[in-house]
Structure 1
Amino acid sequence: MEFIYLMTPILTWLAVGPIKFLINSARHRRWAFDLVGNGGFPSNHSAVVTSMATLIALREGMAHPAFGVAVTLALIVMIDANSLRQHVGRHASAINLLRTGADAKILRERMGHTLVEIAGGIATGIAIAFAIHSQFSAL
């Protein structure tokens, strides 16, 4: 097994987390530890699936069946991030309004991604896949 296919999504995940943290910290002008998690720029999930699709395209070619599977998975993840998870966030907001006076934990409302956040994830995933591919191709 070529470990580059396993390492690329892991390295992408590890790289995007700190990027998102630094962007959120700069945007809010404080250390944004409370904003770590779902949502935000760039989309971590979009970056991970895009890095995998990009790596497959670079190493196997876009005509390879694995590339089609990777693109399909990426589209499902991105559509989910933009629609379903935003609806979940809206539901959490409504539930939080109803909990007034109740002894219940406040639900996280920021769940989904905007199209800009998804595009940022796509760009980040492509860039990281190119960087990893160029490093491993040189060996």
Structure 2
Amino acid sequence: MDVKDIAVPFVAWAVCGSLKFVVNFIRAGGSIAEARRLIGYGGFPSTHTAVLSSAVFFAGFTLGFDTPVFTLGLGTLVILVMDAHGLRQKVGVQAKAINELRRAVGIEGAPLRERMGHAWHEIGGGLAVGLAVGYIASWL
């Protein structure tokens, strides 16, 4: 095992986090505080997808796309993508409904985080980051 094997997902995490901050900074009209607030369980690109896909693609590029390691990673990646798009988005919808109910009946306290899950383009962005990091790392 090489240090690179362990470093690839962390590099993808750092690249994705930096991109997500830049995107949120632009969306927030140049407000650093608002850009930080927007970072969380959602947004473009998907950090979860980038981290796992970087390891999966790195394994594919270095070990082969016809290996059990790649197949296992791909299966795990598909589950993660389904979760990011399906279940976690529904959790965000539920949080929004609960927050509205809390406001309607006057319950105070910190609201639940409503921004959860990812749209397909956000997942695609995470896959692109993971693919790029995995590919570049395989050539280093």
Q: Which TM-score band applies after superposition, normalised by the shorter structure? A: over 0.9
Q: Does 1:113 align with 2:118?
A: yes
How far does the alpha carbon of each residue in 1:32-59 deviate from its partner, in whole angstroms, 9 at most, with x for none? 1111111000000111111111101111
Q: Does 1:71 align with 2:74?
A: yes
Q: Shift of the alpha carbon at 1:95?
A: 0.4
**Gap regions ≥5 residues in structure 1:** none
**Gap regions ≥5 residues in structure 2:** none
Total equivalences in the alignment:
135
Tell me if the contact between 2:49 and 2:130 (Cα under 8 Å) persists in the aligned partners: yes
Runs of 4 or more consecutive aligned structure 1 residues displaced over 2 Å after TM superposition: none
CA RMSD of aligned residues (A): 1.0
Tell me if the contact between 2:15 and 2:129 (Cα under 8 Å) persists in the aligned partners: no
With the length of structure 2 as denominator, give the TM-score of the two structures: 0.92
Q: Paired residue for 2:49, among 38, 46, 64? A: 46
SS of equivalent residue, structure 1 residue 53: helix
Q: Does 1:11 align with 2:7?
A: no
Aligned to 1:23: 23
Aligned to 1:134: 139
CA distance in 2, matches of 1:35, 1:27: 9
With the length of structure 1 as denominator, give the TM-score of the two structures: 0.93
Identity over the aligned pairs, expressed in percent? 39
